[in-house]
Amino acid sequence: MTTHELKQPGVSMADKIARIDQICTQARILPVITIAREEDILPLADALAAGGIKTLEVTLRSAHGLKAIQVLREQRPELCVGAGTVLDRKMFAAVEAAGAQFVVTPGVTQDILEAGVQSDLPLLPGISTPSELMMGYALGYRRFKLFPAEISGGVAAIKAYGGPFGEVRFCPTGGVNPGNVKSYMALPNVMCVGGTWMLDSGWIKNGDWGRITDCSAEALALLD
């Protein structure tokens, strides 16, 4: 099935690519957030924002993911809130209804890629092979998450992708840390990185929001 055979959204693929570029370029670091307790939603987001991280990928890895997206969109409208770990069309529809501003998947299926084509929401599909990239490319996608980045070849792989896929840009996620983040961000076909190192579970459990703020600020400072 081609994009010409799919129900077309009001927003073109070119506009959605431009929106992903804007989101990722402004973010530089996209925190991959899993909410374990509902009471952590606002203080965690506030701690990240205080450190300069104002674009958030809230995953559906916990029962609180959809609620977190709804709460943040309603109560923190200054933040850019996306949904991560979206696995199928039903989850895509749910995060769209919750108010997510962008969608991220860990991998691809033909159905989820087609859902992204048909939606007005920008989708950043996750890939780990050239063949998966080409599935998305055939439907008009030019921006992808490389996941898990380090296991999938890391910096060397992204450099290699630049040859056959010159239009494509990436958000590498998985294994990105303070020791390698600058190497990723130095690549011309990397627009941002995803990470969790500023989201230590112990800090969150203990409400140590100041440490999260400091770590977020330090992470962004590595890229200045």
Active site residues: 57, 145
- DSSP state string for 186-203: TSTTB--EEE-TT--HHH
Cβ atoms of 86 and 100 closer than 8 Å: no
Angle at 148 between CA 147 and CA 152, to 5 degrees: 100
Nearest to 15 by CA among 188, 125, 140, 126: 140
- What is d(CA 213, CA 60) in angstroms, rounded to the nearest whole number? 23
**E strands, 96-140, in order:** 103-104, 123-124, 126-127
- What is d(CA 31, CA 140) in angstroms, rounded to the nearest whole number? 26
Spatial strand order of the sheet with 29-33 comes to: 123-124, 103-104, 80-84, 55-59, 29-33, 193-195
Query: Is the backbone of residue 207 left (phi > 0), alpha (psi -120 to 50) or beta?
Result: left
CA–CA distances in Å: residue 48 to residues 55, 93, 177: 9, 27, 16
Two structure tokens written together for 10: 């009001």
